[in-house]
């Protein structure tokens, strides 16, 4: 019986290590849960090295990429459960109410939506039925791709709009809300959010496993996992378009109707309908040098999550999922739609290019930028949402690369601030401090010096500046700094 075993008993570390090395994945951290009682402690399996070159441990923090979204969804659902928001109130009304209450409203993404958000609700956003695009570039206008509520269309843009509405309506920051509803209740002591709900969660595998455990235990939120047979992935326009094309080039991407019928989307998570009628919730995470996947079965109360620091990370998915929480239909949908590689034989890089084209975007540039110029709609700069996956913003891409750039600067005797600027990272305009904080706390003097520069230049752009300035006076305080 799977549920009675630990992760190391279910997945042989030697086999995982062999596969990890074969496909060039530096490190992995995974956690497994087999119950929802207080004494059901997550078991872990770690292997390889982190980006800093140290061995991965069960305390190693990884970027969660789009695994951030289920955590944000849980926060939204808890707010609704407590009557603090209404899932069916449109976002325009939420912003107007916030203004009438005298709350601060910062809504750059929402202001870009052509026609406003009068037809968009929090429920639609969590179900990914808004019609807003998957990503956005700079400060361009955002048009609806289909009538809200009629089809499925994964949208990171919509999640950003909902975050803006929630923060304005509650007059609380994302980090405050996460601490109150997730991190403290589930004892996630190694987790933090930056300012982007869609992708900025930093966490450990065991912390995330406790989150999954807590959500399964919360019977009041079971509606999130209702499988709607009338709104399966057959309603995904991508699948419909593929059916109309008959040629060898796209044959490998075609998904059987049976698979599509068994995959739907709940409130914040994907849903797989299993042969016995049970439901498995799942979500993937995909950013530069970061791949992650989680799934939990609502009937068996088992769940698994893993994080990797490699673009090849999902090559481990089949090995891990098949032995823990089977996700055949969900994986087939994710892998074929987004072109994730399961086979890293010769030529996989070119096939990886096709995955970016598969969702309508070009292969990512070599030098992603952290920020773009502020638009006339907004009082602050906009983070660029990832232009190649349904997962994250460019700010997350930069976070994953800062440490490597500082290592290069140190080894070559270069000015770190100048080197970062050459790579498109402007410390003087940075609002995402999680990686600098972590490195500074670990004793990286370059990171600490840059952290002080970033905090000083944050004045006038964000109410968070004073917190960071206080922490920058003493690096020992950085670890406990919260953006609130």
Question: At 169, which CATH number?
Answer: 3.40.710.10
- The whole-angstrom separation of Cα 72 and Cα 174 is 8
In 255-313, which residue ranges form alpha helices assigned H by DSSP?
257-261
CA 366 and chain centroid, separation: 21
Contact 411, 385 (CB under 8 A): no
**Residue 481: predicted pLDDT:** 46
- How far is it, in rounded angstroms, from Cα 126 to Cα 266? 7
3-state helix, strand, coil in the chain (%, to 5): 45, 15, 45
Would you state the pLDDT for residue 26?
94
Do the beta carbons of residue 478 and residue 437 sit within 8 Å? yes
Residues 333 and 454 occupy one common structural domain: no
Count Cβ atoms below 10 Å from residue 369 Cβ, excluding itself: 17
Tally of domains in the chain? 2
pLDDT at position 323 is 95
Q: How many other C-beta atoms can be found within 10 angstroms of the C-beta atom of residue 151?
A: 17
The answer to whether residues 214 and 345 belong to one domain is yes
For 414, the token pair is 């270069």
- Distance CA(357)–CA(351), nearest Å, equals 10
Per-residue pLDDT of the chain in tens (484 residues, 90 and over written 9) = 455 789 999 999 999 999 999 888 999 999 999 999 888 999 999 999 998 889 999 999 999 999 999 999 999 999 999 999 999 999 999 999 999 999 999 888 899 999 999 999 999 999 999 999 988 766 678 999 999 999 999 999 999 999 999 999 999 999 999 999 999 999 999 999 988 999 999 999 999 999 999 999 999 999 999 999 999 998 888 776 665 554 444 454 556 788 899 999 999 999 999 999 999 999 999 887 889 999 999 999 999 999 999 888 999 999 999 999 999 999 999 988 877 766 665 665 566 555 545 444 333 333 222 222 222 222 222 222 222 233 333 333 344 467 666 665 554 556 677 767 666 677 665 655 666 666 666 666 777 777 777 766 655 545 455 555 555 555 445 444 444 3
In the numeric block, which tokens belong to residue 388?
């190649």
Tokens (6 digits) for 327? 């996700």
**Residue 462 contacts residue 380 (beta carbons within 8 Å):** yes
278 & 412 share domain:
no
Query: Mind listing the pLDDT tens digit for each residue in 246-293?
Result: 444 445 455 678 889 999 999 999 999 999 999 999 999 988 788 999
**Strand 279-287 with 290-297, pairing:** antiparallel
DSSP state of 237: H
Same domain, 181 and 86: yes
CA dihedral 357, 362, 367, 370 (to 10 degrees): -90
Both 110 and 253 in a single domain? yes
Do 190 and 310 share a structural domain? yes
Q: Beta 270-273 vs 290-297: how paired, if at all? A: unpaired
Residue 137 lies in a domain: yes
Residue 311 lies in a domain: yes
Between CA 405 and CA 412, with CA 407 as vertex, the angle to 5 degrees is 95
DSSP secondary-structure letter at 121? B
Q: From residue 446, how far is each of 50, 473, 483 by CA, in Å?
A: 19, 15, 22
Residues 73 and 155 in one domain: yes
**73 lies in the same domain as 148:** yes
Q: With a threshold of 0.85, does the pTM exceed it?
A: no
Q: Are residues 416 and 275 in the same domain?
A: no
pLDDT given at position 441: 63
Same domain? 113 vs 202: yes
Round to whole Å and give the CA distance between 333 and 328.
9
Query: Domain range spanning residue 201?
Result: 65-359
pLDDT, position 190? 95
The model's pLDDT over 313-352, given as tens digits with 9 standing for 90+, comes to 999 999 999 999 999 999 999 988 877 766 665 665 566 5
Residues contacting 12, CB < 8 A, separation 6+: none
Supply the pLDDT for residue 327.
97
User: In sequence order, what are the beta bridge partners of 285?
Assistant: 292
Give yes or no: residues 236 and 285 share one domain.
yes
């Amino acid at each position: 019986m799977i549920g009675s075993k630990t992760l190391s008993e279910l997945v042989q570390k030697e086999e995982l290590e062999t596969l990890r090395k074969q496909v060039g994945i530096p490190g992995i951290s995974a956690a497994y849960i087999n119950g929802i009682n207080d004494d059901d402690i997550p078991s872990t399996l770690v292997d390889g090295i982190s980006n800093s070159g140290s061995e991965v441990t069960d305390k190693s923090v990884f970027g969660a990429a789009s695994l951030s979204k289920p955590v944000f969804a849980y926060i939204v659902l808890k707010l609704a459960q407590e009557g603090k928001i209404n899932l069916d109130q449109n976002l325009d009304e939420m912003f107007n109410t916030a203004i009438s209450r005298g709350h601060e409203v910062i809504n750059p993404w929402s202001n870009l939506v052509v026609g406003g958000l009068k037809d968009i609700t929090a429920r639609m956003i969590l179900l990914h039925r808004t019609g807003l695009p998957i990503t956005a570039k700079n400060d361009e206008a955002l048009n609806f791709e289909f009538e809200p509520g009629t089809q499925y269309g994964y949208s990171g843009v919509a999640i950003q709009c909902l975050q803006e509405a929630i923060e304005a309506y509650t007059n609380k920051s994302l980090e405050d809300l996460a601490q109150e509803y997730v991190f403290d209740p589930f004892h996630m002591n190694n987790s933090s959010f930056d300012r982007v709900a869609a992708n900025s969660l930093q966490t450990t595998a065991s912390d995330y496993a406790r989150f999954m455990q807590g959500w399964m235990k919360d019977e009041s939120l079971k509606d999130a996992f209702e499988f709607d047979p009338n709104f399966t992935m057959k309603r995904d326009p991508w699948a419909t378009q593929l059916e109309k094309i008959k040629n060898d080039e796209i044959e490998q991407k075609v998904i059987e109707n049976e698979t599509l019928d068994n995959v739907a989307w709940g409130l914040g998570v994907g849903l797989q309908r299993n042969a016995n009628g049970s439901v498995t919730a799942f979500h993937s995470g995909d950013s530069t040098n970061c791949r992650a996947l989680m799934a939990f079965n609502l009937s068996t109360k088992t769940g698994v999550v893993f994080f990797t620091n490699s673009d090849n990370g999902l090559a481990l998915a089949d090995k891990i999922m098949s032995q823990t929480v089977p996700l055949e239909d969900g994986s087939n949908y994710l892998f074929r739609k987004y072109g994730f590689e399961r086979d890293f034989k010769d030529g996989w890089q070119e096939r990886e290019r096709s995955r970016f084209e598969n969702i309508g975007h070009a292969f990512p540039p070599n030098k992603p930028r952290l920020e773009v110029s502020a638009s006339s709609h907004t009082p602050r700069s906009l983070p660029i949402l990832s232009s190649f996956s349904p997962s994250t913003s460019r700010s997350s891409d930069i976070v994953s690369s800062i440490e490597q750039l500082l290592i290069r600067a140190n080894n070559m005797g270069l000015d770190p601030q100048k080197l970062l600027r050459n790579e498109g990272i402007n410390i003087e305009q940075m609002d995402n401090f999680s990686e600098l904080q972590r490195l500074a706390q670990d004793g990286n003097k370059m990171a600490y010096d840059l952290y002080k520069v970033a905090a000083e230049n944050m004045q006038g752009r964000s109410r968070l500046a004073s917190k960071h300035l206080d922490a920058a006076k003493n690096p020992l305080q950085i670890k406990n700094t919260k953006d609130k």
